[in-house]
A and B are shown apart, each in its own frame.
Chain A
């Protein structure tokens, strides 16, 4: 079974040097091609777990396997060929004099032939929409563009797994859409996408699987739709439904047949319900919506 898992944690425990235990026995497996979201409040162990994915942290107990290889016996630079890690703050990694060099850097570390490296870097810049800025100094870019540059420099490595740490924090609506459609695109081409986020709307919209972490343990591991149906779980783990889903839930409680958890699905089910809405049937302005609870009024 473990052969087909690309990432696997076995009873993973991590205790920091200060004595704080951030992960208390995590077991999970991620198969190639999944789009997994890790959610949880601050201090739930998300970041600590992420850092095990490419061996930045090693388990203090238990094991973490990447394509069946124990991370304790593999160097981070080897694991970097499997796991691409996009950090939250691009300024922690950008150091080159131009966008182009920055994108090439990771490939040079892997000693790829120059032609191949340049082709990959060009593709990556194209994907994030920075192809026209390849000769600029990274400091001339805006924060959002630097984030995309950091993403490109990891994309260029063309790793089968991509880890996005808080990909949309501090991004405006357009940039957020761009980043996520890029993630979706890569996912469709067969990459495994893992994202860490507080943003439940992002989870609802994009992830095929959501893993809720709470106090260093897996509180729930299910499809996002199932997780959204468990208000007590969300309350316990300090998470909140995306506003849109809250609205949908309120509508459902009023008897509206609103189904689904993505914007598209919600819109569609609302549209289907619309003929029954009071404002669409002329002459029946006071007709109640199709609901017993509402009919009591």
Chain B
């Protein structure tokens, strides 16, 4: 099974029945809310909302295996922020803040030590940056997993600004790109298997061996993707893609009242979060620079 397994997951749930744009609005809302807060507890609450929606859409959790990669990013952010956070200078005018040093990377018993302090507040800030990423990357696939691809196409084709519409070719490129994410991920897995069987080490080693290991991985995946694109073009042309300008659609998607209600709710909640953070300083770490009063 591919690591990135973001595919339409058919089910009949309230989330599936929403208009694609309502789900898009949700993602936008998560994006904004994740950006205005940096207090881990607030972000954890946001992640809980994500998880509740995933449960409501009945998407199995193993589809989110790619989150393992995100977990590494969170650890990386915590580590780097723990080292460098205190060297940023501007802390909202609170230079008197007492940093709590957990330990020194260059220990006291070493010559010239102790140096390179690991600061608790920095690690916490890194953790909250990571949580933002988690919240967003949990919310984003929901649109794809809980929306029939055909509905997405229909919804996009319905977008109109005056007489301008989104060109059908562009919509096709967008949706087929989404469609091929798991396919390419699977291709990666097969290639990794094939090269490991020939003795290539993908784990461990220094940065140079890692970069060299990328060659036998990316070349086959890239070439087969190009060949697949070529095949797809031929398949499309044989089925008269683009023969008529005015397309019709088999599926109908309507923006219903419940979509309006959900969107309104999203706007209200997002606005409330922005005001709570900017005006009243809720959900912010006290020592973070440049925001609050």
Contacts and interface: CB of A to CB of B under 8 A. Distances in A.
A binds B: yes
Interface of A: 16-19, 51, 54, 56, 75-77, 80-81, 83-85, 87, 89, 91-95, 105-106, 109-110, 139, 153-154, 157
A81 B196 CA distance: 11
Interface of B: 1, 60, 62, 65, 187, 190-191, 193-201, 215-216, 219-220, 223-224, 227
B196 A92 contact: no
A106 B62 CA distance: 34
Q: Which 8 pairs of residues, A with B, have the shortest CB-CB distance? A: A95-B219, A109-B199, A93-B194, A85-B197, A106-B198, A80-B199, A77-B199, A92-B194
A92 B1 contact: no
Given A87-B194, A110-B199, 20 more contacts: A17-B65, A19-B62, A56-B197, A75-B201, A76-B196, A77-B199, A77-B201, A80-B198, A87-B193, A91-B224, A91-B227, A92-B190, A92-B193, A92-B224, A93-B191, A93-B198, A94-B220, A105-B216, A109-B199, A139-B223
21 contacts: A18-B1, A19-B62, A56-B196, A77-B200, A80-B196, A80-B197, A80-B199, A84-B197, A85-B194, A85-B197, A87-B190, A87-B193, A89-B190, A91-B224, A93-B191, A93-B194, A95-B219, A106-B198, A106-B199, A109-B200, A139-B223
A76 B203 CA distance: 11
B190 A109 contact: no
Contacts of B198: 80, 93, 105-106, 109, 153-154, 157
A17 B197 contact: no
A87 B196 CA distance: 12
Contacts of A56: 193, 196-197
B135 to A, nearest CB: 23
B199 A87 contact: no
A87 B62 contact: no
Contacts of B196: 56, 76-77, 80
A102 to B, nearest CB: 10
Contacts, number: 72
A17 B1 contact: yes
B104 to A, nearest CB: 35
Contacts of A87: 190, 193-194, 197
A149 to B, nearest CB: 13
A22 to B, nearest CB: 11
Contact of A16 (B1, B191, B200, B223): B1
Contact of B60 (A18, A80, A106, A139): A18
A92 B222 CA distance: 10
Nearest to B219: A95
Contacts of B191: 92-93
A56 B62 CA distance: 20
A92 B218 CA distance: 10
Nearest to A156: B198
A287 B16 CA distance: 74
A84 B197 CA distance: 7
Contacts of A154: 197-198
Contacts of A19: 62
Nearest to A97: B219
A153 B197 CA distance: 11
Given A77-B201, A109-B198, A110-B199, A17 B193 contact: no
A109 B198 CA distance: 8
A91 B220 CA distance: 6
A76 B224 CA distance: 25
Given A18-B60, A87-B193, A92 B199 contact: no
Contact of B197 (A76, A91, A139): A76
